[in-house]
């Protein structure tokens, strides 16, 4: 299972939000390039970048910072936030981004997602961000009536390379990943799933190993890395040495409360 550090950009700075709330923001770095280089030096094999300004504006905003990150590291970078037309997608890929993450248009323009998957094979990932099982859109400012599992099934048919699943109620809270929701999603589709939201410890990452045989192939870690609750080096080593067969299904931070 791949441990993927998150870099969330707001005003060109590296920040974290609490449950996606733009009014609850904590800055962790003024220079996101330095942050990206740090995660690479500590063993990251992929970076997850979110343009928070772009998600709110409906188009990429932090292009300068994203290009600088992509050029500064040797590992692949995936980027999401405000990608709602072909031009935006193409612009990021031209900057050296390896994969792009589509969210809002998966709900609002599914035919466009299909077209993009065909034009850019293996480079389109769909981000499904959910509140109580329903998909949120437009930078998490709106919640649709579409169920996460239903959208995932549609995007699998569309040709998405993978699904990134975020439980918004867990994001930035460090309360542990939503294993039940991830298990339900994995049962609904035959696509790689990357878990996002709530990881607070290496124990949380190890709990996800029990879902690896079901298709959960990665975990995005944000706030816990920036606060020091999780060491990226230690997390990568622990996950690499862990064996899901030895981990009970209910293993996780809650089991150690």
What is the pLDDT at residue 256?
26
Question: Is residue 256 domain-resident?
Answer: no
Rounded Cα distance, 216 and 239, in Å: 13
pLDDT digit of tens for each residue in the chain (257 aa)? 999 999 999 999 998 777 667 777 788 888 999 999 999 999 999 999 999 999 889 999 999 999 999 999 999 999 999 999 999 999 999 999 999 999 989 999 999 999 999 999 999 999 998 888 889 887 666 777 899 999 999 999 999 999 999 888 665 556 788 999 999 999 999 999 999 988 989 999 999 998 999 999 999 999 899 999 999 999 999 999 875 555 545 444 333 22
Rounded Cα distance, 241 and 257, in Å: 24
Q: What is the count of structural domains for the chain?
A: 1
CA dihedral over 75, 56, 105, 140, signed as positive or negative:
positive
Question: Is residue 228 domain-resident?
Answer: yes
To the nearest 10°, the Cα dihedral for 221, 227, 233, 235? -50
Residue 181: Cβ within 10 Å count? 20
In terms of DSSP H, where are the helices of the chain? Answer: 32-41, 52-57, 63-72, 86-94, 104-108, 110-119, 148-158, 179-188, 202-208, 223-227, 232-241
What is the pLDDT at residue 173?
54
Domain containing residue 90: 2-247
What is the pLDDT at residue 62?
96
Q: Count the residues in the chain.
A: 257
CA angle 178/182/184 to nearest 5° reads 120
Q: What is the DSSP letter of 175?
A: S
What is the pLDDT at residue 131?
85
- Give the predicted TM-score (pTM) of the model: 0.88
Q: Per the structure block, which two tokens stand in for 124?
A: 């389109």
Instruction: State the catalytic residues.
Output: 8, 129
Identify the CATH number of the domain in which residue 9 sits. Answer: 3.20.20.70
Question: Is residue 252 domain-resident?
Answer: no
Query: Is the Cβ–Cβ distance between 110 and 153 less than 8 Å?
Result: no
Question: Is residue 23 domain-resident?
Answer: yes
**Nearest CA to 6 among 41, 42, 36, 27?**
36
Question: Is residue 96 domain-resident?
Answer: yes
Residue 185: Cβ within 10 Å count? 27
Q: What distances in angstroms separate CA 252 from CA 39, 57, 148, 222, one per listed residue?
A: 24, 36, 23, 18
Query: Is the Cβ–Cβ distance between 28 and 16 less than 8 Å?
Result: yes
Question: Is residue 253 domain-resident?
Answer: no
Question: Is residue 62 domain-resident?
Answer: yes
């Amino acid at each position: 299972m791949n441990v993927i550090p998150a870099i969330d950009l707001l005003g060109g700075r590296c920040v974290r939000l609490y449950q996606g709330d733009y009014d609850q923001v904590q800055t962790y770095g003024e220079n996101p390039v330095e942050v990206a280089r740090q995660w690479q030096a500590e063993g990251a094999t992929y970076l997850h970048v979110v343009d928070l300004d772009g998600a709110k504006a409906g188009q990429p905003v932090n292009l300068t910072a994203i290009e600088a990150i992509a050029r500064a590291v040797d590992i692949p970078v995936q980027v999401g936030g405000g990608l709602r037309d072909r031009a935006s997608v193409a612009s990021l890929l031209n900057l050296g981004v390896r994969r792009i993450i589509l969210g809002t248009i998966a709900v609002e323009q599914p035919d466009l997602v299909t077209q993009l998957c065909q034009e850019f094979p293996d480079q389109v990932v769909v981000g499904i961000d959910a509140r109580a099982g329903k998909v949120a859109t437009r930078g998490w400012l709106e919640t649709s009536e579409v169920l996460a599992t239903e959208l995932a099934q549609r995007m699998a048919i569309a040709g998405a390379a993978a699904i990134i699943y975020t439980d918004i109620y867990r994001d930035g809270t460090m309360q542990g990943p939503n294993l039940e929701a991830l298990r339900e999603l994995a049962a609904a589709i035959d696509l790689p799933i990357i878990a996002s939201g709530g990881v607070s410890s290496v124990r949380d990452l190890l709990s996800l190993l029990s879902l690896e045989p079901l298709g959960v192939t990665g975990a995005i870690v944000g706030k816990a890395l920036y606060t020091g609750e999780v060491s990226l080096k230690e997390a990568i080593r622990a996950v690499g040495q862990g064996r899901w067969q030895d981990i009970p299904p209910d293993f996780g931070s809650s089991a150690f409360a």
